Every structure is written in C-alpha cells, then in structure tokens.
Amino acid sequence: MTTPPVRPGPETRNRILDAAEELFVEHGLDATSMRMITTKAGVNLAAVNYHFGSKGSLIQEVFQRRLTDLNRARLAALDALERQAGGVPLKPSKVVEGFFGPALEMACDTEHGGRTFMQLLGRTYTEPNAFVRQFLAEEYAEVLDRFLGALYRSLPGVPHEEILWRFHFMMGATSYAIAGTDALQLFAGKFDDADPSRLMPRLMSFLLGGLRAPLADNGHGRQAKGGPKAA
Amino acid sequence: MTTPPVRPGPETRNRILDAAEELFVEHGLDATSMRMITTKAGVNLAAVNYHFGSKGSLIQEVFQRRLTDLNRARLAALDALERQAGGVPLKPSKVVEGFFGPALEMACDTEHGGRTFMQLLGRTYTEPNAFVRQFLAEEYAEVLDRFLGALYRSLPGVPHEEILWRFHFMMGATSYAIAGTDALQLFAGKFDDADPSRLMPRLMSFLLGGLRAPLADNGHGRQAKGGPKAA
DNA sequence: GTAGAATTCAAACAAACGTTTGAATGAATG
DNA sequence: CATTCATTCAAACGTTTGTTTGAATTCTAC
C-alpha cells in the first residue's frame, strides 16, 4: 500500500538512500539503525551491506549524491557572475546570493527531498562524527576557497580574517534557519509563517546586514563597506 | 596518574558529570556509551545508574546544572537593564547583549568547563533526540518570552514575526560561532585567531547589523530601525 | 530453455549497548 | 564492638547493534 512492494530490481539502491535520508533527519545518524532503514525502504536487511558495503559508506553516499549537485550549482553561479562582471569585483550581495541561494533553493524543494536533505546537512556541520566531518571538509574545500576569494576581492580593505568570521556567522545563521525551523521546538507555536519560500528574502537581508555591519573596534571604527543597502 | 584513583566518596557524581560533558562534545550523545563515561571518570560502570538512574537522566542533569545558571544570568541582565531604563524601551543592542553576552562569557571560560558546555549546547539546538528537545524547550520558555517581549518593545513598528525570524538567525550564528569554531574542520587552518575572547565584539557587531538590516520587501522597503550604528 | 551472473532472502554471528543484581566495602551511629 | 546506611564493585542480564553467510530467487543473454 504505502510503499510499492519490492517489484523492480535496481531501484533498491535509491529506495535505501531515500529512506536513510529521511530517517537521518528524524533520528540522527547514530540513532538510525540498519533495520529502521531497510524496513522503511521495504528491502531486506542485508541489502545495505550488499549495495553499499557498510553503514558508513551509506552515510557518505547519502551526502554525496546531493552535495555534489549543490556545490556544482554554487560554482556555476559564481562562474556566471564573474563572467558577466568581466574583471571588476563583484558586489558582496551577489557573492552571498551565489553561495546561499542554491542552498535555499534546494531547501524549498519539498517534492524531491531537497528540503529533507538540507535539514540534514545543516545539522551535520556540527556533527561530532569524525568520518563525516572529514568528508564534508573535502567536499567543501574548493567551493569555500572560490567564494572566500571572491568575497575578499569584493570587500577590499576589510581584513580577510574579519570576512572569514562573518562568513562563518552567515553559515551558522543559514544552517539554523534551514535545519531548525521545524526541528527545534524552541520557537514552537511562535511562527505563524514558516513557509520556506519566504525564508529566502528574510535571511538574505539579515546576512547582508551582518556582513556589512561596522567592524568591531580594532582601534578605529572602520566600516566593512560604504553605506547600508538593501539586499 | 591522569585521573586521581577514586579516593574520595561523594565526588563520584561530579566526576561522572564532567566526564560525560566532555565526551558528549567529542562524540555526541548517542555515540557516547556508559562505559566510555565511567572509564573516563574512573568510576564503576554501575555508578551512573546508581547516582542518576539512567543515561537519559544523566544527559538531562549535564544540561541542567549549567543551563539553569546561564538563563538565570540572562534574566538578571535583563532585569537590571529594564530597571535602570525605568519604563522607556531598551535599545536593541542592549537586549541582544543581555541574551548573548552571558552565553559568550560562559563560552570563554576554559577553566571550569564553560567552553566545553557551550559547544555542547550549541550543537544541541538541532538535536533530533525528542527527549532532549522537549527538555530544552521547557528550560528556555521563560527566557525566550522575556527577551522577545523586550525586543518587540525596542523595535516598535517592526512586525513581531520579522523580529522572531531575526532572533532565530542570531541564535544560529551564535551557536555555530561557539560550537563550530574548533569542532568543524571546514575552516581548518584558515583561522589565525580563534581566541574566544575576541569573538564577542566580532559576533555582536554582526548580530546587530543583521538585526537592523532593511526588511525584505513586503511591498515597501521599511527599515528595522533608524540608522546603522556600532555595537 | 538453459547457463551464469546479479540480487534478494531468512537466519545467524559476535560485539556492544543500557541496565540490574547481590555481595563487598566504607564510614558513621548507637 | 555491633549495626546501619550509603556507596562501590565484578559479573551477568536481555536487547540491539552492524555485518556475514549460504541458499533461494530473479534477471540477462546465448
């Protein structure tokens, strides 16, 4: 009824990946057992080890199949921006949009599991699991370098270290906005409007406000950019 | 050598709590076993169940013993601010400092485990464990209501919903700043200066910039506050 | 239609989990 | 000294964990 019996054949892999993704969001990586996954996917217990080798490899694959696309989209967005800018530094707002835009778009996709995955991803930046952290760091290395470089050029005169911190802050705000909206009961009953599509402009405005806030006093009150400006 | 043998007596409870706190940060709640905790604490395996009843109750106690103090400090800060303001609405920067200041102060305390705990707490806002979430929500209910109320009054004309969102964003940025600084290897080798005491002004400036950013267009470009202003 | 490879299956594996037990130990009270 | 209470201890409890096995099944191709 609910899940199609088992019929096809090579569909098993994807059923496992989808089931694992949802369960990881709901219960966490460690608290999700193989038996929970295979039951939800409607496949035999041994299927995970047959198709993926181990639980660790399954976790890696769950992240990889979406993260590769996400980061490709990010790099493509940055490429397009830099191409049409033709040498002149990008506006900070454009760089920020290029990085967080694709993430938020994926977070809005409730049809194909994009939203589910982004909730998982957001929570995973603080995962203690060393294996997952290592893997995430590798997957993000290039994207991070590219976008930080673009941000450095777009904010000349601002110490790179300050930009790095603010990028860190922006990632935090975004991850929580996505991962915590319905995960955390802290604000339970307080949000009238948790529509993820309305999240985008709200968050973007906040991020840019934070990015361009006056720098904390290192002796003189230098600003991160000329004047405040809408997103 | 490393851990004093077992000598005293009623010290056992605290040794367990301290060991658990560190291990929860390092490996997460689920991946930390009773045996890891009791081994690190240098006590017998049965001691946890004897003193706390169950692993769940131990987790609760690990959070409670610090969180109660933290939220008491927050409420005290708000009380003091409102008393000396005498009726007039507080400046948003003061409200924000009252909430996030005590958290950052605790995060700077490397001597008595405050830093360790704040890393744990930051990561726990997205904990999938239903029991932990429920407990956190209860522990935060009063503080959240008081500070949101103060923030509403300090930003008249701004829709409460927008303030709620931005508070959510601010909590996200802060949690990541604390939990992710050395937990996440994403920015590994990029931070020259991860000194937590310098984090405070940096983060506060970012938060206030985000809080006071122009509101996303709901039809008209209303600002959250008059002009930009340093923290 | 039969050979052969790929996949699924029920069953079992050892290891680790949180928890419980009942005896041994310690310090305090009479 | 004897008694009592709280605490510690080694050992075992029954489950659940991830993984493996070898036979059954399904699919592919000649």
DSSP state of A159: -
For residue A136, pLDDT over 60 is answered with yes
Mean pLDDT, all residues of chain B: 85
Supply the pLDDT for residue A127: 77
For residue A182, pLDDT over 90 is answered with no
For residue B229, pLDDT over 80 is answered with no
Could you report the per-residue pLDDT of A3-48, keeping only the tens digit for each? 333 334 578 999 999 999 999 999 999 999 999 999 999 999 999 9
Residues 31-70 of B with CB under 8 A from A: 31
pLDDT higher for B136 or A207?
A: A207
Supply the pLDDT for residue B122: 87
**Do the Cβ atoms of A31 and B129 come within 8 Å?**
yes
Could you report the per-residue pLDDT of B118-170, keeping only the tens digit for each? 999 988 887 778 788 888 888 999 999 999 999 999 999 999 999 999 999 99
For residue B4, pLDDT over 60 is answered with no
Supply the pLDDT for residue B196: 67
Q: Do B1-53 and B60-211 come out as alike in CATH topology?
A: no
Check CB contact of B210 with chain A, cutoff 8 Å: yes
Mean pLDDT, all residues of chain A: 85
- Amino acid identity of residue A155, one-letter, is L
Supply the pLDDT for residue B63: 96
Mutate which: B129, B169, B203, vs A, most A CBs within 10 A: B169
Check CB contact of A15 with chain B, cutoff 8 Å: no
Asked if residue B99 lies in contact with residue B147, where contact means CB atoms within 8 angstroms, the answer is yes
Angstrom distance, A49 CA to D20 C1':
9
Supply the pLDDT for residue B100: 96
| Start-to-end Cα distance in chain A | 47
CATH class of A1-53: mainly alpha
Supply the pLDDT for residue A224: 45
Of B128, B203, B212, the CB nearest to A27: B128
- Average pLDDT on B82-100 reads 95
For residue A198, pLDDT over 90 is answered with no
Q: Which stretch of A212-226, B44-58, B141-155 has the lowest confidence by average pLDDT?
A: A212-226
Cβ-count burial of B36 within 10 angstroms (0-12 exposed, 13-18 middle, 19+ buried)? middle
Q: For chain B, how are helix, strand and coil distributed in percent, rounded to 5?
A: 65, 0, 35
* DSSP H helical ranges for B86-225: 92-108, 114-124, 130-154, 160-179, 196-211
For residue B218, pLDDT over 80 is answered with no
Q: To 5 degrees, how large is the angle CA B59–CA B65–CA B67?
A: 95
Supply the pLDDT for residue B220: 41
Supply the pLDDT for residue B31: 94
- Superfamily the domain A63-211 falls into: Tetracycline Repressor, domain 2 (1.10.357.10)
- Average pLDDT on A72-95 reads 95
pLDDT higher for A110 or A22?
A: A22
Report the alpha-carbon distance of residue B84 to residue B89 in Å, rounded. 11
For residue A87, pLDDT over 50 is answered with yes
- Residue A155 tokens read as 């904010």
Q: Is the CB of A156 under 7 A from strand C?
A: no
Could you report the per-residue pLDDT of A39-83, keeping only the tens digit for each? 999 999 999 999 999 999 999 999 999 999 999 999 999 999 999
- Within 8 A of A125 by CB-CB distance, chain B residues are 176, 180, 184, 186
Angstrom distance, B62 CA to C30 C1':
39
Side-chain half-sphere of B199: how many Cα atoms within 13 Å?
A: 26
**CATH architecture of residue range(s) B60-211:** Orthogonal Bundle (1.10)
For residue B183, pLDDT over 80 is answered with no
Q: To 5 degrees, how large is the angle CA A210–CA A76–CA A162?
A: 25
Supply the pLDDT for residue A133: 84
For residue B230, pLDDT over 70 is answered with no
The shortest C-alpha distance from B174 to chain A (Å) reads: 7
Cβ-count burial of B2 within 10 angstroms (0-12 exposed, 13-18 middle, 19+ buried)? exposed
Domain locations in chain B as residue ranges: 1-53, 60-211
- Within 8 A of B107 by CB-CB distance, chain A residues are none
Supply the pLDDT for residue A91: 95
For residue B219, pLDDT over 70 is answered with no
Point out the residue nearest to D27 (C-alpha to C1'). Answer: A9
Asked if residue B14 lies in contact with residue B52, where contact means CB atoms within 8 angstroms, the answer is no
What count of residues does chain A have?
231
Supply the pLDDT for residue B77: 97
CA distances to A228, B75, B103, B168 from B97, in Å:
22, 12, 10, 15
Q: Which residue has the tokens 């103090």?
A: B69
Q: To 5 degrees, how large is the angle CA A38–CA A44–CA A50?
A: 95
Sign of CA dihedral A161, A162, A163, A166: positive
Asked if residue A19 lies in contact with residue A44, where contact means CB atoms within 8 angstroms, the answer is no
Q: Which stretch of A126-135, B35-44, B58-67 has the lowest confidence by average pLDDT?
A: A126-135
% of chain A surpassing 90 pLDDT? 66
Distance between alpha carbon B140 and the CA centroid of its chain, in Å?
10
For residue A85, pLDDT over 60 is answered with yes
Could you report the per-residue pLDDT of B189-198, keeping only the tens digit for each? 666 666 667 8
For residue A226, pLDDT over 90 is answered with no
- Average pLDDT on B39-48 reads 96
Q: To 5 degrees, how large is the angle CA B121–CA B123–CA B127?
A: 100
Q: At what angle do helices A34-41 and A12-27 cross, to 10 degrees?
A: 130
Q: Helices H, strands E: what count in chain B?
A: 9, 0
Check CB contact of B131 with chain A, cutoff 8 Å: no
Q: Which stretch of A188-192, A202-206, B83-87, B139-143 has the lowest confidence by average pLDDT?
A: A188-192
Supply the pLDDT for residue A105: 92
Supply the pLDDT for residue B192: 63
**Do the Cβ atoms of B175 and A176 come within 8 Å?**
yes
